[in-house]
Amino acid sequence: MISLYWLQCGGCGGDTMSLLGTETPDVPTLMQSLNVDLLWHPSLSNLSPAGQEALLADLKSGARPLDVLVVEGAVVHGPDGTGMFDAPGGRPRKDLVAALAGQARFVVAIGTCASFGGFGVGGEIEATGLQFTQSKKGGFLGADFRSKSGLPVLNLAGCPCHHDVLGNVLLALAAGAKVELDELQRPVDWYGMTVHQGCTRNEYHEYRVEEEDFGEKGCLFFHKGCHGPLVGGTCNKTLWNQRSSKTRAGVPCFGCTNPGFPTPDPFFETRNIMGIPIELPMGINRAHYMVYKGMAAAAAPERLKKRITEV
Amino acid sequence: MSSTRKITDIPLNRVEGDLEVRVEHGDGVITDAWSAGILYRGFENLMIGRGPLDGLVMTPRICGICSTTHLMAAVRALDAIAGVTPPDNAIRLRNIALMAEHVQSDVRQSVMMFMADFANPAHSRHSLFEQAQQRYTTMGGSSFIDVIRETKKMLEVVAMIGGQWPHSSYMVPGGIAFEPSQAHLLQCLQIVRGYRQWYERRVLGCSIERWLAVDSRAALDAWLEENGAQRESEVGFLLRFGREFGLDSIGRGNEAFLSCGSLDLPADTAVSGSTRQLVAAGVVRHAAAEAFDHEKIAEDVSHAYYKKALGVLHPSAGETQPHVTEREGGAYSWIKAPRYDGSSVETGPLAEAVIERRPLFLDFLAGPGASSLTRQLARLTRPATLLTAMETWLGECIATHGAAIITGDGRVPDGRGVGLTQAARGALGHWVNIENGKIARYQIITPTAWNGSPRDEKGVRGAWEEALVGTPIADPDNPVEAGYVVRSFDPCLVCAVHTVKRTS
């Protein structure tokens, strides 16, 4: 039996909504098959007020063991470090985060807000992630935090987190499997590839056939602000709602798994120098890239130049 | 305050966001109520200085439940600034995704949030309690699991049109970002048909046509007794369980209703509406209908923690816990109090039904008045008014595949615009100013701001505050009645509450 407590902080609930879309075949069956005892979820539980208070008291004291703490939404520190912008019962919720994180075997941040702070970093609510503030390690719990299992916070980034990621991580924890993490503490199984991989516009990217106007067949990277080649994520490998992804629907990737999301730069625009994006695909040398793209554009087949190939 | 009255803060979950409801009660009845949004996220201020299209990416992330609705409001504001009307198929494909969000939300909220309390031990002496436990126990009940399985299929429609649910940004100024393939549109149609069949079989227990023929309270009673399928359906169970418990006599509210209208009709379509929209705009106060005019909306902050009140909190914030006052007259919520022409109004499916003059709901208002049961019935049966139009519009998109999906170049000049639409839970508005190519102002009024607002400067309660007054409260430690009243408005808040009792 794996006990799981789901805490919602400064967020939109979108990670919960995303999770409900998982095809496993469904969340209750997933929980049953993994023998998860869902102690509390703000949208999915039915516990009297008194029961909830007693549960929290038992968890905080350690009288009742907590295997997995899932935190959705950013830790809110404002105003002036008090946390009173998010204060159920007049008590800053961040205090509850600290108390439960100290008791849990595993601490999971679901979504970019819980992982890195997301919306509200540097804003009025003084948001941080659990163990990061954007890409800076530390966050609310501190760089050295380890849960009782010895692991740091598992960051399941994304806005929202892809619906299949949490279930898979629970599967790994239940199986006692090692969850390999990248430097941002995200599982490499889900964040070790780029969103660009598997994009159906890949050929258009390869030969630099660009989309300038909405609705065209073309690559969204050069003009529409697509972050697909810049960020890790499973969106084009494991489709959304079993069906599609933003880039397949003509919407640029906004880089929501990245610690800097949302960046201050305008969305739907690519910042560029002489027509070449300032931010290039991960790990690429600029001079080589310019030569390569020039040659690639010259080599583009007619079916792409005429935008015949479907995306 | 009489010596027997108590103040209780009521914990409610299974809503979206953060809320505390404080009630004053005596002799087992709620005598006054204060509703407090307890989370401030500062979203409107995050928008200032950003790129003109950024509302399309930022504002869906205000809400995981109604992200498509925020996208619709955001893009309508930009359409208005750019002065563009989207082509017919863009209108259809915007509408279809929004309707998909609504028809899954209406059923999820009804079964997983509202009816889940039918399995609460407070009902252990109810004649239907065992069945209720079998159906609605969270994470295990048969209806609970069935609803998760079926509703997520409907969200595949949003993914095929917009890439993902939640948090897509596929609506762009003048239209949509890309036309789905014909294969995807055919699959969307198949999913909507499948959902309709499930909805008819399990939720209504009859065809949509049969349900829409129920046009009075007497006809509803006859429908309920007509056959076992209808009695055992989700709607049938809601009615039978709710009536025995008395949900039809609580949660009346102020009976002032608002809809800002939604779902523009394409120029050339077989779908008809009473106006140029499928869901009509309007206001009904004291049973009198009037036209909706967004210029008559004003936000009152007399009891909300904004500006002046925030300034008061800051200096002592390190030590005090100022966020819920114990006296009437002070600020107690992060929600502003929108008022329509000075009135506190409710919004949502019941408001839509009243404004569209649906006979069944007018009969309730003319008779016993609004109630939590009537409000929830309006929500659970609203998909019956949307699914047929979804099928028609998908068919029209397939028949005209390849037609334009955007007007203009997708860019937005400086200017001011308003984007209005109906979320699953009621009226949503975005007010946007673009200056010098950047967002200079972004103001949002959500359905829950209407329904869950605090008092205004005249002391008039928000809609569910008013609906709580007079509600019985049998057990302050497990106040299911108050939960039904608040959840019948489909709050977009997670309610978290402690319980403090004091006798004064």
CB A159 within 8 A of CB A18: no
Output the pTM of the full model. 0.95
Task: Give residue B260's pLDDT.
Answer: 97
Return the residue in A241, A254, A261 with the most chain B beta carbons within 10 A, the one to mutate for interface testing.
A241
* CB contact A160 to B (< 8 Å): yes
Which three-class secondary structure string do you get for B186-204?
HHHHHHHHHHHHHHHHHHH
Q: In sequence order, what DSSP letters do the residues of B15-51 get, joined into one string?
A: SSS-EEEEEEEETTEEEEEEEEE-B---HHHHHTTS-
pLDDT tens-digit series, residues B304-351: 776 544 332 222 222 223 333 333 447 787 778 899 999 999 999 999
Nearest chain A CA: its distance from B269 CA (Å): 23
Q: Which residues of A touch B334 (CB under 8 A)?
A: 85
Task: Give residue B321's pLDDT.
Answer: 31
* CB contact B112 to A (< 8 Å): yes
Task: Give residue B306's pLDDT.
Answer: 63
Q: Write down all domains in chain B, each with its CATH number in brackets.
A: 6-317+328-407+416-487 (1.10.645.10)
Could you tell me which residue, B500 or B23, shows the higher pLDDT? Answer: B23
Which CATH code is given to the segment(s) A2-190? Answer: 3.40.50.700
Residue A165: count of CB within 10 angstroms of its CB = 28
pLDDT tens-digit series, residues B411-426: 999 999 999 999 999 9
Count chain A–chain B contacts defined by CB atoms under 8 A. Answer: 269
Count Cβ atoms within 10 A of the Cβ of residue B400 and give its class: 0-12 exposed, 13-18 middle, 19 or more buried.
middle
Q: Is the pLDDT of residue B498 over 50?
A: no
Contact B152 A266 (CB under 8 A): no
Per-domain boundaries in chain A: 2-190, 193-311
Q: In sequence order, what DSSP letters do the residues of B204-255 get, joined into one string?
A: ISS-HHHHHT--SHHHHHHHHHH-HHHHHSHHHHHHHHHHHHTGGGS--TT-
**A79 preceded by cis ω (within 30°)?**
yes
Nearest-by-CA chain A residue for B313: A79
What gap in Å lies between CA A258 and CA A273, rounded to an integer?
23
Q: How many CA atoms are closer than 13 Å to the CA of B207, on its beta-carbon side?
A: 4
Tokens 């601490």 correspond to what residue? A107
CB B264 within 8 A of CB B276: yes
Instruction: Return the CATH architecture of domain A193-311.
Output: Irregular (4.10)
Task: Give residue B330's pLDDT.
Answer: 75
Q: Which residues of B touch A268 (CB under 8 A)?
A: 51, 53, 56-57, 172, 410
Report percent pLDDT > 90 for chain B.
77
Nearest to B95 by CA among B234, B313, B276: B276
Contact B64 A20 (CB under 8 A): no
Q: Measured between CB atoms, which of A28, A244, A262 is closest to B159?
A: A244
CA–chain centroid gap for B442, Å, is 21
Residue A303: count of CB within 10 angstroms of its CB = 11
What gap in Å lies between CA B197 and CA B477, rounded to an integer?
41
Task: Give residue B304's pLDDT.
Answer: 75
Contact B318 A269 (CB under 8 A): no
Residue A23: count of CB within 10 angstroms of its CB = 15
Continuous segment of H or E residues that includes residue B88:
helix B88-108
Here the tokens at position B133 are 């436990």
What's the whole-number average pLDDT of chain B? 90
Task: Give residue B317's pLDDT.
Answer: 29
CB A218 within 8 A of CB A210: yes
Residue B369: phi, psi to the nearest 5?
95, 175
Residue B358: count of CB within 10 angstroms of its CB = 19
Continuous segment of H or E residues that includes residue A222:
none
Task: Give residue B16's pLDDT.
Answer: 67
Contact A246 B117 (CB under 8 A): no
Tokens 């009615």 correspond to what residue? B239
Residue B410: C-alpha distances to residues A38, A232, B107, B150, B397 (Å): 45, 28, 35, 35, 21
Residue A1: count of CB within 10 angstroms of its CB = 8
pLDDT tens-digit series, residues B172-210: 999 999 999 999 999 999 999 999 999 999 999 999 999
* CB contact B24 to A (< 8 Å): no
* CB contact B67 to A (< 8 Å): yes
Write out residues 22-51 of A within 8 Å (CB-CB) of B: 22-23, 25-29, 31-32, 38, 42-50
SS3 B282: strand
What gap in Å lies between CA B196 and CA B193, rounded to an integer?
5
Q: Which residues of A touch B138 (CB under 8 A)?
A: 44-46
Residue B268: count of CB within 10 angstroms of its CB = 8
> Nearest-5° angle of CA B197, CA B199, CA B203?
140
DSSP assigned state of B167:
S
CB B383 within 8 A of CB B107: yes
**A28 preceded by cis ω (within 30°)?**
no
CB A104 within 8 A of CB A66: yes
What gap in Å lies between CA B61 and CA A29, rounded to an integer?
28
CB within 8 A of A296, min separation 6: which ones?
A206, A207, A208
Task: Give residue A114's pLDDT.
Answer: 98
Task: Give residue A24's pLDDT.
Answer: 81
pLDDT tens-digit series, residues B91-124: 999 999 999 999 999 999 999 999 999 999 999 9
Q: Which of A119-133, B1-15, B157-171, B339-353 bottoms out in mean pLDDT, i.e. has the lowest?
A: B1-15
Task: Give residue B325's pLDDT.
Answer: 37
Return the residue in B164, B190, B405, B494 with the most chain A beta carbons within 10 A, the one to mutate for interface testing.
B164
DSSP assigned state of B461:
P
* CB contact B144 to A (< 8 Å): yes
pLDDT by residue for chain A (311 residues), tens only, comes to 999 999 999 988 999 999 999 988 899 999 999 999 999 998 898 887 788 889 999 999 999 999 999 999 999 999 899 998 888 888 899 999 999 999 999 999 999 999 999 998 998 889 999 999 999 999 999 999 999 999 999 999 999 999 999 999 999 999 999 999 999 999 999 999 999 999 999 999 999 999 999 999 999 999 999 999 999 999 999 999 999 999 999 999 999 999 999 999 999 999 998 888 999 998 899 999 989 988 999 999 999 999 999 99
* CB contact B51 to A (< 8 Å): yes
